């Protein structure tokens, strides 16, 4: 199977040691999470990816070539929307908090009242 080309990203940021730095990487090697841009910076001796974390306040710009990336994101979005639609059909409650007719849970004639009585605070152990 051919790998999908997701384009590239260029990030411009302030490095404490090197000053303003510009790096271009593949889109799949850059991610934004928890107020940091993270770039794949290599691998260790065991083959694990090494990530460089750059606080968002030190980033000047991120440019992405995203044509193929958008296609992939669109596919993911369609899958999520389809899943959400299925869940809306299966869940008995609509967005307004009302039961949906025919949810398979009995009568839709209105709310069910459950009587609530106050608890008896007396100690029933018999000893004082």
Tally of domains in the chain: 1
Residue 40 lies in a domain: yes
Where does 1-128 show beta strands of DSSP type E? 8-15, 19-26, 30-33, 36-43, 49-55, 59-64
Residue 92 lies in a domain: no
Q: Which helix (H) or strand (E) holds 82?
A: helix 67-90
Residue 1 has pLDDT above 50, yes or no: no
Residue 31 lies in a domain: yes
What are 80's two structure tokens?
Answer: 């999520």
Residue 28 lies in a domain: yes
Residue 23 has pLDDT above 80, yes or no: yes
Residue 103 lies in a domain: no
Residue 69 lies in a domain: yes
Rounded CA-CA distance 22/51 in Å is 16
CB atoms within 10 A of CB 10: 14
User: What is the extent of the structural domain holding 19?
Assistant: 8-87
Residue 58 lies in a domain: yes
Residue 53 lies in a domain: yes
Can you tell me the mean pLDDT for 103-127?
Answer: 64
Residue 8 has pLDDT above 70, yes or no: yes
Tell whether pTM > 0.75.
no
């Amino acid at each position: 199977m051919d790998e999908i080309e997701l384009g590239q990203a260029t990030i411009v940021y302030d490095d404490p040691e090197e000053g303003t730095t510009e790096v271009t990487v593949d889109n799949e090697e850059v991610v934004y999470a928890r107020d940091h841009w993270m770039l794949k910076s290599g691998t260790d001796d065991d083959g694990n990816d090494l990530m460089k974390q750059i606080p968002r306040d030190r980033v000047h710009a991120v440019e992405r070539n995203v044509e193929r990336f958008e296609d992939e994101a669109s596919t993911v979005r369609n899958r999520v929307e389809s899943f959400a639609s299925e869940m809306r059909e299966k869940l008995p409650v609509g967005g307004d908090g009302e039961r949906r007719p025919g949810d398979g849970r009995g009568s839709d004639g209105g709310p069910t009242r459950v009587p609530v009585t106050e608890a008896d605070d007396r100690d029933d152990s018999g000893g004082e």
